[in-house]
Amino acid sequence: MTGSEASVAPLPVLQWAQEHGEVGGVRTSHAQLTSVLRAEGIPVSYVDTGSARRAASMLPRLTHRSLHLLHLTRLWRAMLLAPVFALLSGRTVLVLHSGSTGGQVARMTAWRRRALVLALYAYDEIWAVNDEIGAILPAALRARITVVTPFDSSAAPVPSPYERQPHALALATNAGLAHYNAQLGIDTVRRVRERWSDATLTVLAYGHESPEVEALRRLGEVEPWLTVAFDSSADEVSAVLSRVGTFLRPTSWDGDSVIVREAQAAGATVVASDTAPRPAGVVLAALDAEALAAAVTDGGPVSDGSGLAQTTLADAVRSAESAATRR
């Protein structure tokens, strides 16, 4: 960056996200980004997409030149908001958090896929937690993609002082949705207990109340080794991850999971299904209770981190700010 560029004040950042939304990886990710940027003196505000009233209060700000970050897991919302982002002043970025991006595109009809490609031209940049989407985009759009990790260790909670319990395990599930495979995780720990009779499992459930979450609670009432927590605070999650020996991630598909990164940062061993790219150091196993249990007790192949990025959202913001300065 030249001296004249360095003297230019950074663009204010407007995060289009659910500032007060449900607990989970997306909220953790943009909250960490806010913390890092504000510490660097970059002003950050929210267009709260979870509240029409709070979002409307930001309308006067939308005429100002800013760096706009739209955080989404569903591509149809990016299509819906594309006309708005095409008119905004400054630089616009679509941040895709979900590992289901490729699957979402695969399920689209041909005409909807063409509409998606056209809609994505409204965004100056596309940041994604994996490079799946790049394979279905024309070259002109592919050049706009940056693969990022949604986790920033510089903003992660400091590990708690709790004593590590080697035979304690934890897993996370959003509202008990099927692809998180919470029941498979429970079946895995049943098998682990055949080797480690003192093994326990904490299920960190979040999102919305659902019959699946209630079923997990009922199971926890009859299994003394199983605890189900719902919508735990960031400090409570950090305490669990700092205490357990193993964090289980038996998902059918995944992005660059924030809680997997959190678990590693807290010092837990992560055992995950081999259905998606995993951070370096994660122990991999087939999506099967016996295979996962064996990986917990005996270890297994370890991911080298291929397919995931080290570029943080804050790194990407700095690059976007520099690009905006040059325009």
**How far lies 96's CA from each of 1, 64, 185, in Å?**
28, 24, 27
Among candidate residues 179, 222, 230, the one with its CA nearest the CA of residue 206: 230
Q: How many CB atoms lie within 10 A of CB 57?
A: 12
Given a cut of 50, whether residue 5 has pLDDT beyond it is no
Q: What's the pLDDT tens digit per position in 20-48? A: 766 788 889 999 999 999 999 999 999 99
CA dihedral 227, 233, 239, 243 (to 10 degrees): 30
Give me the chain's average pLDDT, please: 90
236-274: per-residue pLDDT in tens?
999 999 999 999 999 999 989 999 999 999 999 999 999
Please state, in angstroms and rounded to a whole number, the distance separating the CA atoms of residues 118 and 271. Answer: 39
**Can you list the alpha helix ranges (DSSP code H) found in 156-278?**
182-192, 211-222, 234-243, 258-265
In contact, 271 and 286? CB cutoff 8 Å: no
CA dist 211 and 176 (Å) reads 8
